Amino acid sequence: MKKLVKVVGAVTYNESGEILCALRSPDMSLPNLWEFPGGKIEEGEQPEETLVREIQEELDCTVDVYELIADVVHEYPNIIVNLLTYRTKIVSGTPTAKEHAELRWVPLAELHTLEWAPADVPTIEALQHYNGRQLIK
């Protein structure tokens, strides 16, 4: 039976309303696809705690976590991923790619031009339906 992993991803806006996108490196699973930075929820962790920990590890900055954007179950060939995406805000530090091949700030209207990990597509669609400006707090 395929393993089900619970994963969190951070949707982070900058002052210009662009969203932080991260490119998985060639040696990761789902190589060379774009994702929201984050990672697997560990035993005993709340999703918000995972996000803060993972963003610190992967991007070397600190985020506050706000509302849930999408809760998606996606079946990959080898694994089932339950991806929870949350709006987050950087409260200290500047995002730096510690593990990703690239980080890029992308306007909402251009998100669909990137090649995303399939589990992320419903989040992109949900974001298009939001008024992006309302998300900048």
Ligand X SMILES: Nc1nc2c([nH]c(=O)n2[C@H]2C[C@H](O)[C@@H](COP(=O)(O)OP(=O)(O)OP(=O)(O)O)O2)c(=O)[nH]1
Residues of this chain that interact with ligand X (CB under 6 A) are: 5, 7, 9, 28-30, 35-36, 38-40, 79, 81, 83, 117, 119-120
Other Cβ atoms within 10 Å of 64 Cβ, number? 14
Instruction: Tokens for 13, please give them.
Output: 């806006």
Instruction: Tokens for 89, please give them.
Output: 């805000």
Nearer to ligand X, 38 or 95 (CB): 38
What is the closest distance, in whole angstroms, from the C-beta atom of residue 113 to ligand X in the complex? 17
| Residue 88 parent element (H or E) | strand 79-92
What is the closest distance, in whole angstroms, from the C-beta atom of residue 14 to ligand X in the complex? 18
- The dihedrals phi and psi of 114, each to the nearest 5 degrees, come to -90, 155
Closest alpha carbon to 70 in 18, 127, 131, 115: 127
What is the closest distance, in whole angstroms, from the C-beta atom of residue 35 to ligand X in the complex? 3
What is the closest distance, in whole angstroms, from the C-beta atom of residue 110 to ligand X in the complex? 17
Nearer to ligand X, 65 or 83 (CB): 83
Nearer to ligand X, 23 or 83 (CB): 83
